[in-house]
């Protein structure tokens, strides 16, 4: 009891005064470079089950960079409590980034055995899993009370194998892993989001969109596009950059969500076709589906008709759907499609012929090619 009171007094001191990240820290993982260089720090006093300080790192222009918290927590098992000192870091949306330790501190297992390098790395991996099995377990579900032994029923409670569960914890430090994971992914994440929302402005949203952090990008997209996908003024270039970017998931999501007007017109479709030619297959399909929702410019319709001759089956049907959805196809497009009646397989030729029939072309050359195709279907008819 006396030990616990002393620990709590130490904790209160930590909460009140905090530790400046400029103080000497033990970078046990060697990953301090994950954090941008901060110029100043702003403290927020948070009241939850206990009161603690959450600190926001800011750059020289007073722009938010990341959050951190200097933590003391007693970890109690086998009738004994031990103090754990650790510093946790989060990004601006409450996603765990890393941890380090105060200069003279170490983490220990049962029987005061110090963590080895592999243990520190595994702890980082555990804390980096937002969907850990630890999320839905009480500590009494996980271990036998008064021990560090995994409960015999934990696999039944989680539906996971014992081997999988062991990957979520460190042998001899189960309670420590559990406690720190719930701090890293607990109510603090909501507090971080709440504070960051007070800093949101066009400058920060541009930063989010241009970052390599996909959660920042999704957050910014929610803020700059309305429910119909219309874009706030000044962010059009950011949207094009995302669609052209290396993150295929962000690129596809952005294109799917943006309003059709963004890819309507000759200039916009010229850019989109350039993107198509440089993109991987999944984004190409998304582009073709998007084009089926807008009127095609004459140039785009011609490019699609030409591309159809060398497209695979899925691309071909999406191209034809986009052409089908466009009223008044230009004459060169009709001619290009008619030329393909002879040079493609029967299924594609039939689909092209059906489209041409609907358009009722008047061009004599096109009508001849259609008639020749029809003769191959009914060779005895004249």
- 268 in any annotated domain: no
How many domains is the chain built from? 1
Residue whose pair of structure tokens reads 């596809």 in the numeric block: 252
In a domain, 242, yes or no: no
CB-facing half-sphere around the CA of 76: CA atoms within 13 A: 8
Q: State the CB neighbour count (10 A cutoff) for residue 380.
A: 5
Q: Is residue 344 part of a domain?
A: no
Instruction: For 256-297, write each residue's pLDDT tens digit.
Output: 999 999 999 999 999 999 999 999 999 999 999 999 999 999
As a whole number of Å, the end-to-end CA separation of the chain is 104
Pair type for strands 40-47 and 80-90: unpaired
Give the pTM.
0.82
pLDDT 10s digits, 19-40: 444 455 788 888 888 898 898 9
252: tokens are 């596809």
Q: Is residue 24 part of a domain?
A: yes
Question: In this structure, is residue 144 part of a structural domain?
Answer: yes
For the chain (382 residues), the mean pLDDT of every run of 10, in chain order, is: 34 38 69 89 80 91 95 73 89 97 88 89 95 81 58 48 70 86 93 96 97 96 97 98 96 98 97 96 98 96 94 96 92 93 89 92 91 80 52
Residue 351 counted as domain residue: no
Domain that holds residue 86: 2-190
Task: Decide if 94 is inside a domain.
Answer: yes
**Does residue 165 form part of some domain?**
yes
DSSP letter at 262? G
């Amino acid at each position: 009891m006396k030990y616990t009171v002393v620990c709590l007094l130490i904790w209160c001191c930590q909460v009140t005064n905090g530790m400046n990240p400029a103080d000497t820290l033990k970078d046990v993982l060697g990953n301090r470079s994950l954090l941008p260089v901060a110029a100043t720090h702003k403290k927020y006093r948070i009241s939850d089950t206990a009161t603690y300080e959450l600190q926001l790192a800011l750059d020289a222009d007073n722009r938010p960079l990341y959050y951190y918290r200097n933590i003391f927590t007693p970890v109690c098992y086998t009738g004994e409590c031990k103090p754990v000192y650790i510093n946790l870091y989060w990004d601006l949306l409450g996603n765990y980034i890393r941890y380090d330790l105060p200069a003279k501190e170490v983490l220990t297992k049962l029987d005061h055995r110090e963590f080895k390098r592999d243990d520190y790395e595994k702890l980082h991996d555990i804390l980096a899993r937002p969907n850990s099995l630890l999320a839905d377990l009480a500590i009494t579900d996980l271990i036998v009370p008064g021990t560090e032994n995994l409960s015999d029923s934990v696999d039944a409670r989680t539906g996971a194998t014992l081997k999988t569960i062991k990957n979520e914890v460190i042998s001899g430090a189960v309670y420590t892993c559990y406690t720190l994971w719930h701090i890293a992914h607990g109510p603090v994440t909501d507090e971080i989001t709440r504070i960051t929302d007070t800093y949101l402005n066009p400058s920060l949203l541009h930063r989010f969109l241009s970052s390599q952090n996909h959660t920042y990008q999704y957050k910014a997209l929610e803020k700059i596009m309305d429910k119909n996908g219309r874009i706030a003024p000044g962010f059009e270039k950011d949207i094009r950059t995302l669609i052209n970017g290396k993150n295929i998931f962000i690129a596809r999501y952005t294109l799917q969500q943006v309003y059709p007007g963004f890819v309507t017109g000759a200039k916009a479709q010229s850019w989109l076709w350039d993107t198509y030619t440089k993109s991987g297959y999944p984004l190409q399909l998304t582009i073709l589906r998007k084009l089926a929702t807008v009127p095609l410019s004459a140039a785009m319709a011609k490019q699609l008709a030409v591309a159809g001759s060398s497209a695979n089956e899925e691309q071909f049907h999406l191209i034809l759907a986009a052409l089908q959805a466009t009223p008044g196809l230009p004459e060169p497009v009709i001619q290009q499609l008619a030329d393909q009646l002879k040079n493609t397989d029967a299924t594609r030729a039939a689909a092209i012929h059906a489209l041409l029939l609907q358009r009722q072309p008047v061009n004599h050359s096109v009508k001849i090619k259609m008639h020749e195709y029809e003769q191959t279907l009914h060779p005895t008819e004249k």
